[in-house]
Structure 1
Amino acid sequence: MNKEWKLAELPKEEYVKELSKQPNVPLLITQLLAQRGVKTLPEARNYFRPTLEKLHDPFLMKDMDVAVARLTIAIEKGERILFYGDYDADGTTAVALYMHFFRSVYNNVDYYIPDKYAEGYGVSERGIDYAHTTNCQLIISLDCGITSFEAIDAANRRNIDFIVCDHHQVGEELPKATAVLNPQREDCNYPFKGLSGCGVGFKLLQGFCQKHGIDPTPLWSHLDLVALGTACDVVPMVDENRVLCHQGVSYLKKTKKAGLLALFSSLKLDQNNITLNDLAYSLGPVINAAGRVAHAQYAASILSTEDPKEAKELAVELNRLNGLRRKYDQQNTEEAFTLGEEEKDNSILVLYKEDWHKGVLGIVASKCVAQFGKPTICLTHSRGEVTGSVRSTDNFDIHELLTDCDDLLDKFGGHTSAAGLSLKEENLSAFKERVIDKVDKKMNGKEFVSFRNIDLKVNLADINLSVANILQQMKPFGHENEIPVFLAEKVKVTDTPRVLKDKHLKFNIVQHEGDQALSVIAFNQVEKLEVITTSVFDILFKLEINEFRGNKTLQLNCVDIKKSENE
């Protein structure tokens, strides 16, 4: 697979000039801001100060007034309310948010998390049965429900009302719920469409507080959970999500929630220095492991509990499940690589083994794409059908491919680079044959591509601690507000590079004679040693600040290297 460097277009000069009216702001910072949609000085101030005042009015969301009114009636009548959450980190944090909030407001509540394998995605009829047998009159779904037509119809037949809080794509029809909160609705004029499922649930609680004049301060204290759910889901880190995550991380640093403290301890995370990366790449996998290999009830329980002893026991169990997840991941990946070697001449890999673990197949497919440089479908046998995950390269639309095969599939869903699917076993051979044929025709000998996205081309002389400090203030970073990647052309090493642990490189570079050398760390790029020692080269990097004993130094974290052209 070709790793193609893709330099973003420079923003409009008029926006850069406007932002440059702020004194002492380097040009590359104003260019970065303009690239990210910041066009005026007031917008820049909002960007750097993601405060709670920047949250949108929840009643701008379609059906919010109806949802708050129905929730109010339930509380006034003493009805039992069930919070129904999805089995991933977004759904379980949303359930925990509701359980913590309602402890101080109303105690006739319960929650339900479906079994991923026995019940599948969305609201299940088993969940409706549970609500009926426990005498619930209102269900609030969190991070699911927008496509649960049959289950919500079943709830209606049992006189159970439904409020849907979801953020997934909306079809032509809506479920027959009392209220459907989803900014993706075509008839919803809410100004931000990118909330997580937990974020949509939070807006309902914000609306409830606002309607009844309740001091929102206790609600703000639960932004730690909203930040966790948002960081673990692939949602854009812009607009309201930046506010929720920026504020949420500050609450995480002082949280007293027993479950979060137990997870910090078990993962050896420093609470005082917790970051969004810690949430997405340390806490997130542990929380998601429960739903992947056992039951997400464990995750919802630890996030909801107030008992330190229970939290500690659950943290031990979650770490055990995460270890099991890693074992399945490693085992299934090794087997997938073996199968992939046998089929590496095909334009797309369709890999099937009936005893693979369904919960890790997305991870396995991603690793196969990296290993073989082509789209990969990993499938296993589960609940009487063939099911699995698809991952693709940056220049091939996997969703379009599956749409062309919908007559062979029982169901599928996703987007251009990732999807899930299921089909009958008797259709597997025909499906494999068709996708290979269609990819052959679509690519017609062209190479699959993975893009290295670059924000700006820079001169190393313009890189300094002041720039790095301003970049730190651009956090939180995430999807659609990524950590900036810079390109410096025609650089060379100033000394002998060091090889660390046989796989990393550490060296110093300059771009022009007389410049101050800058330190570079290149993780897992030992194969680039010959390039940097025998030629002038181009480097992609992220800017970091190292702090040791109070001293701050600049470091370039290398993303990629290639030999400079015309050298």
Structure 2
Amino acid sequence: MRWTFKPEPDYKIVERLAEELSIDKTLAKILVQRNITTFQEAKKFFRPTLKDLHDPFLMKDMGLAVQRIENAIENEENILVFGDYDVDGTTAVSLVSSYLKTFYSNVATYIPDRYDEGYGVSYQGIDFAEDNDFSLIIALDCGIKAIDKVTYAKEKNIDFIICDHHKPGDEVPNAIAVLNPKQIDCSYPYDELCGCGVGFKLIQALASKRNQTINDLVPYLDLVATAIAADIVPMTGENRALAYFGLQVINTQPRNGIKAIIHQLQKKELTITDVVFIIAPRINAAGRMKHGNYAVELLTEMDFDSAITFASSIETFNSDRKELDKKITKSALYQIEDNNETDSYTTVVYNENWHKGVIGIVASRLIETYYRPTLVFTKSGDKLAASARSVKGFDVYDALDQCSEFIEQFGGHKYAAGLTLLPENYENFKFKFEEVVKNTIDKELLTPEITIDTELELSEISPKFFRIIQQMAPFGPLNMKPIFASTSVRDNGYGKQVGEDKTHLKLTVFQGSDRKSYGAIGFGLGAKINCVENEFDIAYSLDENVWNGNTSIQLVLKDLK
């Protein structure tokens, strides 16, 4: 791995902040690196409050959206809440539909089928709305590029309200309202919301018209926090406040569906990392293996026993998903080796029998072996569909844009995208994508990077130091858990490889003449056992280790050399 240290901040600002907050300079430095430079900013960071949320009416078209929904209610129209089959989409649909149902009954939900309809607003969904007399569709986490489909709906006298957070194209659909803070002409102060976050701003606006306050909406924040964690949006500003309070709801009074998932796990307190790796994959598994409707039914279920039944079905989907992704990853790795493509700048693999529901996960797995922009294709109807994943620092969405002559449809973000193309264009696309990446990527980006906040003497680690680090949570992009580097450390001589196949490393390290030692665990670092015979450098984060009722601070090694 490349070890990259964050730039040194202005020392005077660090000194002043350390004094104002009564913390040591290392902690003050970490805060200044995160653009927290004053007492007030630090207070806002460490003590988020829902009062910091922006007025939803600052978002372009919010007034129009609220007015159209109010008219629909007044005229007793049927409202269809439509959203994608991933975590962000299904939580957003659950959020908006369950809120509307608290005061209006003519509301139904629609999740497109991953296999029959694919991503985003679908013609089948619009036909379903027409057949069942829905005159208003609220599209969540999708729709910003559905220009033809919104026109098709208009011809059938069906109106659209679009709540999306994906990058808009040059033209936006002709909907009643388009809520997307990424629109150039939208002056909303924060543009990093996820789809469920935009849905939350919509219910916040509707609530204000019903004399409800933000406190009335707190029970919905478990859904918002789950979407923020799963969609890997920046953990800054509004997202951080929503995730902070949403995590409290998850740990104290979650909705039945989330409670049922946690109930199966026997875990006491969940962190945002647990949400990413425990709750989100299970919600996602429904749309991957069966149908996203299962996730919405789980997340909106009012009866706990029924929620337990849904959760156990989803647990089965999740186990099946794990088996499949292992199998397909193995097959994809063989394909790369057989085609002698281990030295390419990209990974592009295809098999018509691979399960469409797991190709995104497989793309991420392949990056763990061959660290480069990756696409995994499978057959979808008469086209090929792919999931794209990128490496840190490289915009895969832009790269795909440069290959658009061979693509039928694509959408997504800098680091993750989806696309479809015709089978006859696959080879040309593959060649062009390799060429684009080869000519545009900084070759350094093909080596995994670890970003280190600062160097740390092991003697600086204290319960107070660790407590303040913990208070910086929830962690996520742009507010990652701090990574430290310590140089010239030694192992106490009992370091060993652990785990079933000896893939992990367990050490007890100390530094210099200070004989105080710390337990350290390095997941996936078992092969580096030879590095610890003499002095070595470590990059790590801090965590809590509970063993036999004793709690201690543990170093979680990211790399050593």
Q: Contact 1:399 / 1:414 at 8 angstroms: preserved in 2?
A: yes
1:560 corresponds in structure 2 to 559
How far apart, CA to CA, are the structure 2 residues paired with 1:446 and 1:143?
Answer: 33
Deviation at 1:40, TM superposition (A): 1.0
Q: Contact 2:392 / 2:445 at 8 angstroms: preserved in 1?
A: no
Q: 5 Å matches for 1:351-430? A: 351-394=349-392, 396-430=394-428
TM-score of the two chains, using structure 1 as the length reference: 0.93
Structure 1 residues 377, 108: CA separation in 2 closer, same or farther (over 3 Å shift)? closer
Aligned to 2:130, which of 129, 132, 138?
132
Q: Contact 1:199 / 1:226 at 8 angstroms: preserved in 2?
A: yes
Partner secondary structure for residue 470 of structure 1: helix
Aligned to 1:334, which of 325, 330, 334?
330
How far apart, CA to CA, are the structure 2 residues paired with 1:242 and 1:138?
Answer: 32
Partner secondary structure for residue 510 of structure 1: strand
1:176 aligns with 2:179: no
How far apart, CA to CA, are the structure 1 residues paired with 2:101 and 2:319?
Answer: 33
Provide, for residues 92-132 of structure 1, a one-character-per-residue CA deviation record: whole Å limited to 9, x for no partner.
11111123323322222111111112112211121112222
1:227 corresponds in structure 2 to 225
Matched AA of 1:170: P
How far apart, CA to CA, are the structure 2 residues paired with 1:196 and 1:102?
Answer: 20
Q: 5 Å matches for 1:263-282? A: 263-266=261-264, 268-270=265-267, 272-282=268-278
Partner secondary structure for residue 291 of structure 1: helix
Provide, for residues 280-339 of structure 1, a one-character-per-residue CA deviation record: whole Å limited to 9, x for no partner.
111111111111122101111111111233322211221121122112211111111111
2:507 corresponds in structure 1 to 507
How far apart, CA to CA, are the structure 1 residues paired with 2:425 and 2:80?
Answer: 39
Aligned to 1:89, which of 87, 91, 95?
87
1:48 aligns with 2:46: yes
Partner secondary structure for residue 10 of structure 1: coil
Deviation at 1:159, TM superposition (A): 2.2
Q: 5 Å matches for 1:158-197? A: 158-197=156-195
Structure 1 residues 335, 11: CA separation in 2 closer, same or farther (over 3 Å shift)? same
1:344 corresponds in structure 2 to 341
1:315 aligns with 2:314: no
Deviation at 1:216, TM superposition (A): 4.0
Partner secondary structure for residue 38 of structure 1: coil
Partner secondary structure for residue 517 of structure 1: strand
How far apart, CA to CA, are the structure 2 residues paired with 1:88 and 1:225?
Answer: 13
After superposition, the CA RMSD in angstroms is 2.1
How far apart, CA to CA, are the structure 2 residues paired with 1:415 and 1:244?
Answer: 22
Matched AA of 2:505: L
Deviation at 1:76, TM superposition (A): 2.3
Aligned to 2:198, which of 181, 184, 200?
200
Q: Contact 1:395 / 1:449 at 8 angstroms: preserved in 2?
A: no
How far apart, CA to CA, are the structure 2 residues paired with 1:17 and 1:323?
Answer: 51
How far apart, CA to CA, are the structure 2 residues paired with 1:181 and 1:446?
Answer: 38
Task: Select between 338-347 and 104-113 the one with higher mean Cα deviation.
Answer: 338-347
Partner secondary structure for residue 512 of structure 2: coil
1:36 corresponds in structure 2 to 34
Structure 1 residues 225, 561: CA separation in 2 closer, same or farther (over 3 Å shift)? same
Structure 1 residues 299, 182: CA separation in 2 closer, same or farther (over 3 Å shift)? same
Structure 1 residues 499, 383: CA separation in 2 closer, same or farther (over 3 Å shift)? same
How far apart, CA to CA, are the structure 2 residues paired with 1:531 and 1:345?
Answer: 27
1:481 corresponds in structure 2 to 479
Matched AA of 1:344: E
Task: Select between 291-300 and 539-548 the one with higher mean Cα deviation.
Answer: 539-548
Structure 1 residues 49, 380: CA separation in 2 closer, same or farther (over 3 Å shift)? same
Deviation at 1:396, TM superposition (A): 5.0
1:526 corresponds in structure 2 to 526
Task: Select between 431-440 and 109-118 the one with higher mean Cα deviation.
Answer: 431-440
Q: Contact 1:465 / 1:545 at 8 angstroms: preserved in 2?
A: no
Provide, for residues 223-264 of structure 1, a one-character-per-residue CA deviation record: whole Å limited to 9, x for no partner.
111111221112111111111111111112232632222222
How far apart, CA to CA, are the structure 2 residues paired with 1:314 and 1:21?
Answer: 53
1:212 corresponds in structure 2 to 210
Provide, for residues 492-516 of structure 1, a one-character-per-residue CA deviation record: whole Å limited to 9, x for no partner.
1233213323232222222221352
Deviation at 1:269, TM superposition (A): 4.0
Structure 1 residues 91, 433: CA separation in 2 closer, same or farther (over 3 Å shift)? closer
How far apart, CA to CA, are the structure 2 residues paired with 1:312 and 1:447?
Answer: 44
Deviation at 1:24, TM superposition (A): 2.6
Deviation at 1:445, TM superposition (A): 8.5
Partner secondary structure for residue 252 of structure 2: coil
Partner secondary structure for residue 290 of structure 1: helix
Partner secondary structure for residue 21 of structure 1: helix
Task: Select between 405-414 and 458-467 the one with higher mean Cα deviation.
Answer: 405-414
Q: Contact 1:85 / 1:113 at 8 angstroms: preserved in 2?
A: yes
Matched AA of 1:519: G
Q: 5 Å matches for 1:235-314? A: 235-255=233-253, 257-266=255-264, 268-270=265-267, 272-314=268-310
Matched AA of 2:185: D
Partner secondary structure for residue 64 of structure 2: helix
TM-score of the two chains, using structure 2 as the length reference: 0.94
Structure 1 residues 359, 491: CA separation in 2 closer, same or farther (over 3 Å shift)? same
How far apart, CA to CA, are the structure 2 residues paired with 1:545 and 1:393?
Answer: 29
Provide, for residues 154-202 of structure 1, a one-character-per-residue CA deviation record: whole Å limited to 9, x for no partner.
2222222221111111122221111111111111111111111111111
Q: Contact 2:386 / 2:419 at 8 angstroms: preserved in 1?
A: yes
Structure 1 residues 167, 393: CA separation in 2 closer, same or farther (over 3 Å shift)? closer
1:565 corresponds in structure 2 to none
How far apart, CA to CA, are the structure 2 residues paired with 1:99 and 1:137?
Answer: 16
How far apart, CA to CA, are the structure 2 residues paired with 1:406 and 1:473?
Answer: 45
How far apart, CA to CA, are the structure 2 residues paired with 1:76 and 1:276?
Answer: 40
1:537 aligns with 2:536: yes
Structure 1 residues 282, 79: CA separation in 2 closer, same or farther (over 3 Å shift)? same
How far apart, CA to CA, are the structure 2 residues paired with 1:184 and 1:372?
Answer: 32
Q: Contact 2:256 / 2:301 at 8 angstroms: preserved in 1?
A: yes
Deviation at 1:398, TM superposition (A): 3.6
How far apart, CA to CA, are the structure 2 residues paired with 1:510 and 1:19?
Answer: 30
5+ residue gaps, structure 1: 563-567
Structure 1 residues 257, 415: CA separation in 2 closer, same or farther (over 3 Å shift)? closer
How far apart, CA to CA, are the structure 2 residues paired with 1:183 and 1:254?
Answer: 31
Partner secondary structure for residue 393 of structure 1: coil
Partner secondary structure for residue 199 of structure 1: helix
Provide, for residues 481-537 of structure 1, a one-character-per-residue CA deviation record: whole Å limited to 9, x for no partner.
11111111121123321332323222222222135222212222121111111x211
Structure 1 residues 54, 373: CA separation in 2 closer, same or farther (over 3 Å shift)? closer
Structure 1 residues 26, 65: CA separation in 2 closer, same or farther (over 3 Å shift)? same
How far apart, CA to CA, are the structure 2 residues paired with 1:24 and 1:545?
Answer: 24
How far apart, CA to CA, are the structure 2 residues paired with 1:457 and 1:365?
Answer: 33
Structure 1 residues 193, 379: CA separation in 2 closer, same or farther (over 3 Å shift)? same
5+ residue gaps, structure 2: none
Provide, for residues 447-499 of structure 1, a one-character-per-residue CA deviation record: whole Å limited to 9, x for no partner.
82211111111222212111100011111101221111111112112332133
How far apart, CA to CA, are the structure 2 residues paired with 1:33 and 1:150?
Answer: 47
1:516 aligns with 2:510: no
